[in-house]
Chain A
């Protein structure tokens, strides 16, 4: 393997308390090492910024939902083709790029690890096959468990407590699918939507027919993940997404999860004051206050970016609401036993009160909090905007002048209802950007060898020109190194890396299969024996992170 010495760059490695230190970084056999031989390739990084490869903790890039969105939006990709070359496959971009284009474009932005945040377990083979065709990045996926009827049964039987059976079932499902972690989307609410087009109505309402509440689902599955010691804690898309006044539900959710590790997804969409049916206002500061007192909880923002987006979610009720708001295209797909899916193309307009408020709330979450390790960068790609907009988002955080200019273009009535109304002086430092885009997501995912550049870390490194225009700087890294090999140079892909599948493993009592089998027979139209993914071609090459209870 290649030996590389990155010479004279300013290292930003917040996980190891390194903040702009000028020194060499050595890479060998895919890892960061203390030194390399004289024959090592030397990369002159003087005047440049060196960071670990980017880690996206929450995006939607693969699986049936993403693929339906591709088929739904040929118009958005016609003008964004990607030509094949000797090295690269062809593809198309747009809001939901083809798989190869997804991998290439993440790499060109300096990202080396991405998490697909919502996969139906029943569709794991599809997700895995798409991820195999997504090169350049290491990738993981979270499996949807918040509306699983079989788990509802186990939770009801345990009276909402974390039972050994529930723990074993969660571990079994991860083993059966190759998933990395557990995602709860609108717990209980998706099941109600599939029953009656409705929603569950708060975290203490009972899911009809199951005798469980969203609170019990949160506590029991969150508790099971915690007790199993999975590398990533339960990842929660809370109830009432997008509904004015939902901050109350979010606070209740955080309270239900507190005391154990948990991650709140796209917090911006859950930070609204006001009353259902009325105009929302911001309650971001209250959520940040709660987070400040509960370091066991983290969040990603789900920043809205003005322009086109593709909303896609397991929360079918939300999509039905957007369908009626927008009148445009709409996809709904219900997956037996497990989950739902909704897709609606959407445009966030700077002059629209609600959209501008959403934009402002996202910035409040970034700028008013005092701990970047707790609040990480995401646009909930492509729900709030494409991952391709990350450089612009970084500029909004690092450049007050740019931010104030953008503020001036947004709906002022909305901006006046946020803390941005008087301007916020804070500008993120490079180290803070390194925290919210690499170090914190990697740490939260339990990927100890990623998001940092200490000895033994994965040799995933991004080197940027230190430009005053931060958007330009983060749009085109000078170099990207993946697994110790130079893959991007000045905006061009030089080498194709297949990337690894990241899975997690927790031990479970095999007796759980005797419990699950009859429940499967009752509910699924796929037999229990044919449900688990065993094909090595889908599950390898992989890195498996062991749980540590």
Chain B
């Protein structure tokens, strides 16, 4: 009997998925390579591994929490970060702990400097949920991203191609991909423009001149827009352009969050502290960190608590406490096995467009969710 599943394989959080067995293999319907990989990693982890490890040696949960609490008490400059697969409940608990111990909090996207946050705070943005784009946008422009690889069902859910969701747009729709690479997404485009990634975003205005009859358009972008030299300027330019185009068209943007937990983590951080991005709680109140160098060096981090993410995303050199439903590479000082959100644990995630969804775990496990571990850790830390 197939189980209903909200897939957390990427930030699209497809909630029309079923999972069944086929010759002993788990199979997702509709098929999705990312979803299958996400599920396989978490069902493999669902076996008989240890509850926790310290320096690679199996220990029980209580000992791991006690040791982690000791590390947190001794740390001068702890960092709480990650959240790639974390639920809202996990992040709420993590920020609560960070507030108590005076840590820096950084979401995955912000573990390295992320110029996008300042761009939003400087000018704002125009955005929409997936359904708005599917049912209104006659023109969808993808700027140097390859969602066919990173968000495999995005185009389908926006109503493009065979098997795409039904759209309510009357008349033709055009998919434009701007990329100088040969990508799977580019191959599906109605029009491809091989502009280099550092080309001025302003050039998009020319494109709108060609499509001046469209009433509604969407620009899809991701980390590539703000990456590298001039990244913040490019992102600012995009939002400035959207604002200008909005006098003639209804123009929205869709930002491709890299991981399923990223959007929600930033949202929780913002509502609990007032700031998104990287927030320093060491002074006793939230302060926005606008570091332009790698956090570990810039902020002299001496302990990292990584929540539902790959701790290797940070540079080596600091002890790591990892709460993860997937066994982490050797090297973590402490690893605590958690129940995988969406597979073994319930919880809420925010889709890339901000829509919140509650994960329905088909196979609840004995392992605790990260939120529960963090709450115990807060008590044990006793600061």
Interface residues of A (CB under 8 A from B): 62, 64, 66-67, 70-75, 77-78, 81-84, 89-94, 96-101, 122-126, 129-130, 133, 193-197, 320, 323-324, 329-337, 343, 522-527, 529-530, 533-535, 537-538
Q: Would you call A70 and B274 a contact (CB within 8 A)?
A: yes
Q: Would you call A126 and B267 a contact (CB within 8 A)?
A: yes
In the complex, which residues of chain B have a beta carbon less than 8 angstroms from the beta carbon of A126?
Answer: 267, 350, 354, 356
Q: State the Cβ distance, A103 to closest chain B Cβ, in Å.
A: 12
Given A74-B121, A122-B129, A527-B16: A535 touches B348 (CB 8 Å cut-off):
yes
What are 22 A-B pairs with beta-carbon distances under 8 A? A66-B271, A72-B120, A74-B274, A83-B284, A84-B284, A90-B99, A90-B284, A126-B356, A129-B271, A129-B348, A130-B271, A194-B136, A329-B121, A331-B124, A331-B125, A331-B126, A336-B135, A337-B131, A523-B131, A525-B131, A527-B15, A530-B15
In the complex, which residues of chain B have a beta carbon less than 8 angstroms from the beta carbon of A330?
Answer: 123-124, 126, 243
Q: Would you call B121 and A197 a contact (CB within 8 A)?
A: no
Given A74-B288, A90-B284, A525-B165; 8 other pairs, CB 8 A cutoff:
A67-B267, A81-B286, A84-B99, A193-B250, A196-B250, A343-B124, A526-B355, A537-B89
Q: State the Cβ distance, A533 to closest chain B Cβ, in Å.
A: 7
Q: Once the chains are docked, how many angstroms separate the CA of A91 from the CA of B96?
A: 11
Q: Would you call A329 and B124 a contact (CB within 8 A)?
A: yes
In the complex, which residues of chain A have a beta carbon less than 8 angstroms from the beta carbon of B356?
Answer: 123-126, 129
In the complex, which residues of chain A have a beta carbon less than 8 angstroms from the beta carbon of B285?
Answer: 81-84, 90-92
Q: Once the chains are docked, how many angstroms separate the CA of A196 from the CA of B138?
A: 12
Q: Once the chains are docked, how many angstroms separate the CA of A92 from the CA of B125?
A: 23
Q: Would you call B348 and A197 a contact (CB within 8 A)?
A: no
Q: Would you call B121 and A72 a contact (CB within 8 A)?
A: yes
Q: Once the chains are docked, how many angstroms separate the CA of A97 from the CA of B275?
A: 10
B147-205 interface with A by 8 A CB criterion: 157, 165-166, 168
Across the interface, A67 reaches (CB within 8 A) one of B252, B270, B355, namely B270
Across the interface, A89 reaches (CB within 8 A) one of B96, B124, B132, namely B96
Q: Once the chains are docked, how many angstroms separate the CA of A195 from the CA of B170?
A: 12
Q: State the Cβ distance, B96 to closest chain A Cβ, in Å.
A: 7
In the complex, which residues of chain B have a beta carbon less than 8 angstroms from the beta carbon of A334?
Answer: 127-129, 132, 252
Q: Would you call A70 and B275 a contact (CB within 8 A)?
A: yes
Q: Once the chains are docked, how many angstroms separate the CA of A332 from the CA of B123?
A: 11
Q: Once the chains are docked, how many angstroms separate the CA of A62 from the CA of B356?
A: 14
* 4 pairs of A and B residues whose beta carbons are closest in the complex: A336-B131, A92-B274, A81-B285, A125-B356
In the complex, which residues of chain B have a beta carbon less than 8 angstroms from the beta carbon of A78?
Answer: 287-288
Q: Would you call B92 and A133 a contact (CB within 8 A)?
A: yes
Q: Would you call A335 and B132 a contact (CB within 8 A)?
A: yes
Q: Would you call A523 and B272 a contact (CB within 8 A)?
A: no
Q: Once the chains are docked, how many angstroms separate the CA of A75 from the CA of B274?
A: 11
In the complex, which residues of chain B have a beta carbon less than 8 angstroms from the beta carbon of A133?
Answer: 92, 271-272
Q: Once the chains are docked, how many angstroms separate the CA of A326 from the CA of B325?
A: 48
Name the residue in A82, A94, A96, A197 with the highest tally of chain B Cβ atoms < 10 Å from its Cβ: A197
Given A323-B243, A527-B16, A537-B89: A125 touches B281 (CB 8 Å cut-off):
no
Nearest B residue to A81 by beta-carbon distance? B285
Name the residue in B284, B350, B356 with the highest tally of chain A Cβ atoms < 10 Å from its Cβ: B356
Q: Once the chains are docked, how many angstroms separate the CA of A81 from the CA of B283?
A: 10
Q: State the Cβ distance, A8 to closest chain B Cβ, in Å.
A: 39
